[in-house]
Structure 1
Amino acid sequence: MTCNQEIAKRIRESLRVFPRDFTEKKMFGGISFLHHRKMTVGVIKEDLAVRVISNKMEGLMQLDAVRPMDFTKTALKEFIYVSLEGFKTDEQVQNWIELGLEHAKNKL
Structure 2
Amino acid sequence: MAFDENNAQRIRTFLQHKEADFFEKRMFGGLVFMVDNKMCCGIRMDKQTGENLLLCRIGDKAYEDALERDDIIPMPNSERPMKNYIFVTENGWQRNQDLEFWLELCLEFNPLAKASKKK
TM-score, normalised to structure 2's length?
A: 0.81
Alignment of 1:1-108 (within 5 A): 1-45=1-45, 46-70=52-76, 72=78, 74-107=80-113
Question: Structure 2: how far apart are the matches of 1:106 and 1:22?
Answer: 16
CA contact (8 A) 2:62 2:105 kept: no
Aligned residues: 108
Per-residue CA deviation, residues 7-35 of structure 1 (Å, 9 max, x unaligned), is 11211122222022111111111111111
Query: Which has the higher mean CA deviation after the structures are superposed, 29-38 or 5-14?
Result: 5-14
Q: Which runs of 4+ in 1 moved over 3 A?
A: 71-74
Question: Structure 1: how far apart are the matches of 2:20 and 2:2?
Answer: 27
The structure having more radius of gyration, on CA atoms, is: 2
Deviation at 1:55, TM superposition (A): 2.2
TM-score, normalised to structure 1's length?
A: 0.88
Corresponding residue SS for 1:16: helix
Question: Structure 1: how far apart are the matches of 2:61 and 2:79?
Answer: 23
Residue identity over aligned pairs, in percent, reads: 31
Q: Which runs of 5+ in 2 are unaligned?
A: 46-51, 115-119
